[in-house]
Amino acid sequence: MRENLALADLVLELLDARLPASSRDPGLDRLLRGRARLVVLNKADLADPHVTREWLSWLADHGQPAVAFNATSPHGVHRLLTAVRKHAGRPRTGRALRLMVVGIPNVGKSSLLNRLAGRARAATGDFPGITRGKQWITLAPGLELLDLPGVLPPRPPRGEAGYRLAASGALREGVFDAEEVAAWLLAWLAARSSGRRGLGQAYGEGVLTAASMLEAVGRVRGCLGSGGEVDRLRAAALVLRDFRAGRLGRHSLERPPGRDGA
């Protein structure tokens, strides 16, 4: 990233709209100091729209222009390109405007890139680590974009930030305990009215009063092993898939500093 920064007129820092703080690489501020940057809150269709507006306002107040992006929206590309041209300034004479997109794994870089290009030019997937090397892609006449593999600190964060990253899909399976993360996510959702509605609609109201919500989800959805015991690992995987697909509702796992809990 450091080697290629000099080639870019504008850096697109891609964050997950559901967890903008936890999905931000902590070393980027120092690395991008003095560089033109536009923050893109991706997967906005999965986040609470009210909280996304709070993040856009907070980022702007802290000198970081930002735009929300939804790869499934027909208006998302136009809105993003308008913001790009506003904040990029003028490229050197005789060459295209060059963008660099950076972000943690599985934050949606390849999906965004494909929407900008108007066709599938980069591999996409629902697990981190799809992009293997840098690639320049022509988005339109006079506009080029450099895609780089996602990066995370060497040791994934622990505690709440780690749970949020794992729940969102930013961490590979095997580096976190799926049952632990799913149980945390169910408790987090159950503590909020919108989360309770989503859980009730997806799994039934009885899940909310169960001694173990993960066990209850497993029984409702048929995640049973031999002897009728709940396969907790299967149940955990199901909960995480449902959350990542938006089947439990639109939820933001964190709000800007100084706000009450999401």
The predicted-structure confidence for 49-68, as pLDDT tens digits, reads as follows 999 999 999 999 999 999 99
Angle (nearest 5°) at CA 251 between 218 and 186: 25
For residue 121, with 0-12 CB atoms within 10 Å meaning exposed, 13-18 middle and 19 or more buried, which class applies?
middle
Locus of tokens 């591999």:
123
What does the pLDDT read at residue 120?
Answer: 42
What is residue 130's predicted lDDT score, i.e. its pLDDT?
Answer: 41
User: Where are the domain boundaries for CATH 3.40.50.300 in the chain?
Assistant: 5-147
Q: Write down the pLDDT at residue 127.
A: 39
Kindly list the distances between the CA atom of residue 94 and the CA atoms of 4, 17, 137, in Å, as whole numbers in the listed order.
19, 36, 18
3-class SS of residue 230: strand
Spatial strand order in the sheet of 37-42: 66-68, 37-42, 10-16, 97-102, 143-147, 135-140
Cα→Cα distances 99→24, 113, 215, 261, Å: 18, 11, 47, 35
pLDDT (0 to 100) of residue 157: 75
Q: Which parts of the chain register pLDDT below 50?
A: 120, 122-132, 262
User: Positive or negative CA dihedral for 241, 182, 247, 132?
Assistant: negative
Superfamily of domain 5-147: P-loop containing nucleotide triphosphate hydrolases (3.40.50.300)
Angstrom CA distances, 103 to 31, 39, 199, 228, 232, stand at 13, 10, 30, 43, 32
Output DSSP code: residue 175. S
DSSP class of residue 206 equals G
Token couple for 146? 């450099």
